[in-house]
Amino acid sequence: MKTDVYVLCGGKSVEHEVSLKSATAIINALDRKKFNVYPIYITKDGAWCNLGKWDNKIENPEDLQRETDKSVANSIGEFFAKDFKGGENLVFIPALHGPNGEDGTIQGLLELLDVPYVGNKVLSSAVAMDKVVARDLFQQHNLPQAKYLAFKSHQWKENKENAYDKVEKHLGFPCYVKPANSGSSVGISIARNRKELEESFKMAFQYDLKIIVEEEVIAREMQTSVIGNNNPKASISGEFIMERPFFDYNAKYIDGTIVPVVPARLEPEVATKVRELAVEAFKVLNCNGLARVDIFVTDNNEVLINEVNTMPGFTLFSMTPVLWEATNGTTYSELIEWLIELAFERYEEEKSISSRRILE
């Protein structure tokens, strides 16, 4: 019997277009002899559009886009009332990035529906998305990381000069100002002086009500994929050579100024240390399924955790599939099937616990 796979893509996020690229690769890679594929396009307003069973290859990610005048509530209700087949042999793949996709919201809906889905659950998704909460947890578990400060919008508005003074005193310049909940480097900027710091605060608060300010770390950033449930495994690490001072949105997705290097240029013992820290961070945030863990390595080989991405980009050329192919020869299609297996594994494990509680 074939497995029904519902691929969610698009969404209310600045990473809408990135999601379409990830979904395109996933849909094209799924073996139609094993899977029935049902793409669900989510508009930038949040409305759901069922594309029906999809048997052909997608040539262009924009081919997934649709328009609808239905409200969010009506579109979701109509999908589950009329289009959703249900049954036991199904799984959702939320190929969604950023807020409203990998922050626990869509995961909460899937939990309420009691269906298996690829990737992290509500808690780990929400915690990893919030850079401040994630860093606070890393700190409690003594994971090495850069110094940071957090600010809420209302606090900043009440006393802006105090916020700027605090950054200057505890972090100094240059420093990086980021929205607490965002992805793909959206809203992030570097502040080299007081004036730039003021502008960076203003920009970051356009994207979130809470921001994080981090000290500058002179280092290379390593990306490591971690996959698994109870016994997660880390891939080899990769890195990027780039012309920009940090990975902004354009560098990642538009102008091609970054070049991936796999495996990363690390001494064997440092490479092992990076992989071990990646798995440790995965466990601290209670992750399941997959995550990409970004780690800094300084010139003196100090390793510092940067962040955990619970639904990383999943195009054919994204780091996650590239890293696993380089690690053990796992192909893109095999990687998707592996993640689906992990989704069913976690679902069945949790169902067995629920059944025992009901019997008791």
Give the tens place of pLDDT for each residue, 44-83.
999 999 999 999 999 999 999 999 999 999 999 999 999 8
> Of residues 215 and 244, which shows the higher confidence score?
215
Q: Is residue 219 pLDDT above 90, yes or no?
A: yes
In whole angstroms, what is the distance from residue 320 CA to residue 7 CA? 18
Q: Is residue 259 pLDDT above 90, yes or no?
A: no
Nearest partner of 138 among 261, 280, 23, judged by Cα: 280
In this prediction the pTM is 0.91
Q: Is residue 182 pLDDT above 90, yes or no?
A: no
Mean pLDDT for 217-223 is 96
> Of residues 74 and 250, which shows the higher confidence score?
74
Looking at residue 244, its pLDDT comes to 52
Give the position of tokens 């600010």. Answer: 151
* Domains of the chain (ranges, CATH numbers): 3-117 (3.40.50.20), 147-215 (3.30.1490.20), 218-340 (3.30.470.20)
Looking at residue 245, its pLDDT comes to 56
